[in-house]
Chain A
Amino acid sequence: MALPVDEIKKLIKESIPDASIEIKDLMGDNNHYAAIIKSSKFNNLSKIEQHKLVYKSLKGKMGNELHALSITTEGK
């Protein structure tokens, strides 16, 4: 099962409203993505906590509908 880019962006924005998000569909198959996400919510958090915030915003889809999303996070 695949998740379109707009849907991923929408989910992340709902939890992290100030996020600037760049997503690449690596294979053009709606299933292998790379995302760069910047948000002030990441400031002063460890990388693990930053990635957990993104995973939580995806509401359990990561590892299920969404197989491959590589994440790079940055504060702003």
Chain B
Amino acid sequence: MDVKEKIKNLINENDVCLFMKGTPDSPQCGFSMAVSNLLKHLNVNFKGINVLDDEDLRQGIKNFSDWPTIPQLYVKNEFVGGCDIVKEMFEKGELKKLLEEKKII
């Protein structure tokens, strides 16, 4: 399976998918930790995908989203943003609203 298919499957099979460095329990980068913690704070059940385990995926997700940095958050197949956008949305209450609208929380 090529990496694009693999990413499509991951975001199809998981309502909330966070491509990150490290895991939700052991993040390896401050930005990944920040987004992971916000999701935990909102009691979101999410799938953390450690791109450090898979170099193809690490590059692949950047190409797939046309976005140069990790973490990247997908909700119901839709790219929500990286750390800055997710943080800003959280502060404005928009992240909670989005997750409620998508029936995640």
Question: Are these two chains actual partners, yes or no?
Answer: yes
Q: Chain A interface (Cβ within 8 Å of chain B)? A: 47-48, 51-52, 55, 60, 62-63, 68, 70-72
- Interface residues of B, CB < 8 Å — how many? 15
Give 9 A-B contacts (CB < 8 Å), ordered by A residue: A47-B89, A48-B67, A48-B85, A51-B82, A51-B85, A55-B67, A63-B69, A70-B83, A72-B88
Please determine whether B79 and A62 come into contact, CB atoms closer than 8 angstroms.
no
Count A-B pairs with CB separation below 8 Å.
30
- Name the one of B62, B70, B84 contacting A51, with C-beta atoms under 8 angstroms: B84
B37 to chain A, nearest CB (A): 16
List residues of B (67-93) whose CB comes within 8 Å of A's CBs.
67-70, 79, 81-85, 88-89
